[in-house]
Structure 1
Amino acid sequence: MAHVILVMALLSYTVVTLLNLLGADMAGYQQVIALVSLAAILALQLRHSAPGANRAPLWQRCLTLTAQALLTYLPFFVFQAEWGAMAGFLAGSLLLLLPARVGWSLYGVVGASLSVPAALEGRSVLVVVYLCQSTLLTGLVTYGLSRLSELVKEVHSARDELTHMAVTEERLRFARDLHDLLGFSLSAITLKSELIHRLIPQHPQRAREEVQDVLSVARDALADVRRVARGFQDMSLEQEVSSARSVLSAADIGTTVRVSLGSVSTQTSSVLAAVLREAVTNVLRHSKADNCNIEAIQLDGNVHLLVANDGAAPDHHEHSVHGGSGLMNLEARVRAIGGEVKAGRVDGTRFRLRVVVPAEQE
């Protein structure tokens, strides 16, 4: 609609000039010259008013502006002041295609130049002022409608891009949540199933107890999938600490836990629970740990979460052919609530993950 309004306005200005010329006493060849010149100027103006015209190479802009200037000023020798309205198109094109300082300067020059033919014809001061003012006004209208059309197009393009980004972000969120929630559960099920396999021959009673734990973890995994599908992601840090202790113990990894928390917002607790779940999953999958230390301490308005384990040998690799993106997911979650993550090897064979986040979210 903005483009249609622009085209109709340019056509209207052109038709007004044509009617003024036809109302004057002109010879046949003059009418032909008027029609050809008006058509050429209109075509050039539509080109200059098109979105992105100001991004064309400088030499192209200068060439078309020069052509428009010649078509604007040469007909004055034939039609005199009756041709004055066409100078407004040139004024608008200068604003559209040239840098602001140069464009506005030349815009003023074009407006003032209309006083010359009117004065040479002996027109009154009021007519001179009218021609200069109408030229400047036409230039502003041409510039404003052209920019409006371009901005509307950019807004529509930006809206489409934002929609695409929102869909992409939602896909990333779903993938991140699925990874964070199910990675731990599936690792726990695998670990406990291997433990059951070893216990069945000589400790059947203990194996039955572990089967119950596997069923419990599987039910929790199913609930997690449903929570992801609903977009509901609240998790409890204290519950996750308890689950981590149980899984690490089943893997014969000595676990030291220290938790000292006060008032913690639901969002902070959910993020830290996801961090702890991913950290324990990495301990199980990416190390040969014998000991793991978990600390969650609230200090000076922040919650400090530390997960450290040994057995992070450089030659130990995950057996799965699929790569992971857990640490990147955690960094995204933590930074979203104003926290920071530090992770890396310590003393060669120890790996430490430290997270600091605000205890309360605004």
Structure 2
Amino acid sequence: MKASTRLGLRGGLVRPASATDGAAEPDRQALPGPRLARVILKVALFSYLSITALNIISTGLGAAADSAAIAALLLVFALQLRHSAPGAGRRPARQKALTLGAQALLTYLPLIVLHAQWGALGGFLSGSLLLLLPPRPGWTLFVLVGLSMFLPPLLRGQGIVDSIYLCQSTLLTGLVVYALSHLSEVIQEVHDARGELARLAVVRERLRFARDLHDLLGFGLSAITLKSELVHRLIPLHPERAVQEVDDILSISRQSLSDVRRVASGFRDMSLAQEVTSAESVLNAAEVAVRVEVATGEIGRQVENVLAAVLREAVTNVLRHTKATRCAIGVTADGERVTLSVVNDGVAAGRRDTDAHGGSGLGNLAMRLREVGGALDSGALPDGTFHVRASAPAFVPDGSPQEAR
């Protein structure tokens, strides 16, 4: 077995103490549901139409006129529900022109008989124009509909005050119809977005679990396999040494079980110093000459977790994908950044991992490093060695998105 050399151990890997991160209390005040918003809209529209119906009945025009007026009100109500439906503005122009034309006829033709008593229906038409048309023509026609309601009171000699009142009430009704309809659509979009965000959160947690399971267990299982093969060879010749290796296997298996529990519970703190020691031990068991150089100071908790995972994956790759005889592990600090490097003497020609599900570790780690503002570089060097180099800031700023993982 080849001996390892440990160089330049200056200080230790120190992680600053921090308070336990408390989970934010979720906002339990739910937004009004889309169904409630639609109910409020329908009640408001029906209330406006009911007032108009009562005004018409109070004029005493007769049962036939009252029946015709109520039938027209129901048609206007149906058209307005169509115009206030979510996505109504995205319907084909021909459909919008047809329904707006029908509503305009039902708004202005009854004015000939019912005069100002029917004027409130102008507010529905003006609101529909805002909902279905682009902003410039919509607002222009909105104002014109309001101004047109000056005429019915003046034609009946009711005076300028009644004309101003009818114009103002038409514009106000139009704004209420537009606001309630638009609010209903916004609430529907927010409701849909919340559902999509929940789905994405589930997908992200599944990816996190799969990534952490790969990162944490790949090294342990590879080490158990390697040491078991070593024990098999040592039992006939060196039984005492075999017993020591069995103790290592038990320790690694217990650690792997602990890792599984930590992944399942969401706690994934790892010690970079401990990973360096474990990597050295496993590489020695694989008869790989190891050189370790560690020279760094304080490292943030999240950055240390990521770098420890990088080291695990790099050593796992050395064991599974190469026939290395030498490996150098280095951790250095350069200003506010920390760099981890793992270099071995190359991938043997024709060496391939037979596991169809392997090979995603470096991609996972590159993503995790990007989340803390770091980068991962790996590949063959001109001298025939293979390197994995991870660089990241020593600390992730408090309150950054990365800390919310």
Q: Is the 8 A contact 2:311 2:342 kept in 1?
A: yes
Aligned ranges for residues 189-200 of structure 1 at < 5 Å? 189-200=224-235
Give 2:329's match in structure 1, choosing from 268, 287, 294: 294
Please provide the CA RMSD for this pair. 1.8
1:180 corresponds in structure 2 to 215
2:310 corresponds in structure 1 to 275
CA distance in 1, matches of 2:154, 2:358: 81
Opposite residue 79 of structure 1, the aligned amino acid is L
Indicate the larger mover: 106-115 or 197-206.
197-206
Aligned ranges for residues 338-349 of structure 1 at < 5 Å? 338-347=373-382, 349=384
1:70 corresponds in structure 2 to 105
Normalised TM-score (structure 2): 0.85
Deviation at 1:211, TM superposition (A): 1.3
1:358 corresponds in structure 2 to 393
Give 1:93's match in structure 2, choosing from 115, 121, 128: 128
Deviation at 1:164, TM superposition (A): 2.2
Per the alignment, in what secondary structure is the counterpart of residue 200 of structure 1?
A: helix
2:279 is aligned with 1:235: no
CA distance in 1, matches of 2:46, 2:177: 11
Opposite residue 136 of structure 1, the aligned amino acid is L
Q: 1 or 2, which has the higher helix percentage?
A: 1
The verdict on how the C-alpha distance between 1:172 and 1:283 changes in structure 2, with shifts beyond 3 A counting, is same
Return structure 1 stretches of 4+ with deviation > 4 angstroms.
Answer: none
Give 2:252's match in structure 1, choosing from 213, 217, 220: 217
Opposite residue 156 of structure 2, the aligned amino acid is E
Q: Is the 8 A contact 1:265 1:361 kept in 2?
A: yes
Give 1:114's match in structure 2, choosing from 146, 149, 158: 149
Deviation at 1:28, TM superposition (A): 4.1
2:44 corresponds in structure 1 to 9
The verdict on how the C-alpha distance between 1:54 and 1:313 changes in structure 2, with shifts beyond 3 A counting, is farther
The verdict on how the C-alpha distance between 1:245 and 1:77 changes in structure 2, with shifts beyond 3 A counting, is same
How many pairs are equivalent? 362
Opposite residue 233 of structure 1, the aligned amino acid is R
Indicate the larger mover: 67-76 or 12-21.
67-76
Identity among equivalent pairs (%): 56
1:25 corresponds in structure 2 to 60
Indicate the larger mover: 75-84 or 39-48.
75-84
Indicate the larger mover: 176-185 or 220-229.
220-229
2:365 is aligned with 1:330: yes
Q: Is the 8 A contact 1:313 1:349 kept in 2?
A: no
Normalised TM-score (structure 1): 0.94
Give 2:287's match in structure 1, choosing from 252, 259, 263: 252
Q: Is the 8 A contact 2:346 2:380 kept in 1?
A: no
Gap regions ≥5 residues in structure 2: 1-35, 398-405
Per-residue CA deviation, residues 73-92 of structure 1 (Å, 9 max, x unaligned), is 12222222221000101111
Indicate the larger mover: 153-162 or 239-248.
153-162
Gap regions ≥5 residues in structure 1: none
CA distance in 2, matches of 1:15, 1:107: 23
Deviation at 1:361, TM superposition (A): 2.5
1:59 corresponds in structure 2 to 94
Per the alignment, in what secondary structure is the counterpart of residue 201 of structure 1?
A: helix
1:146 corresponds in structure 2 to 181
CA distance in 2, matches of 1:82, 1:161: 47
Q: Is the 8 A contact 1:313 1:348 kept in 2?
A: no
Deviation at 1:348, TM superposition (A): 8.6
CA distance in 1, matches of 2:190, 2:260: 37
Higher relative contact order (CA 8 A, sep 6+): 2
1:35 corresponds in structure 2 to 70
Opposite residue 236 of structure 1, the aligned amino acid is S
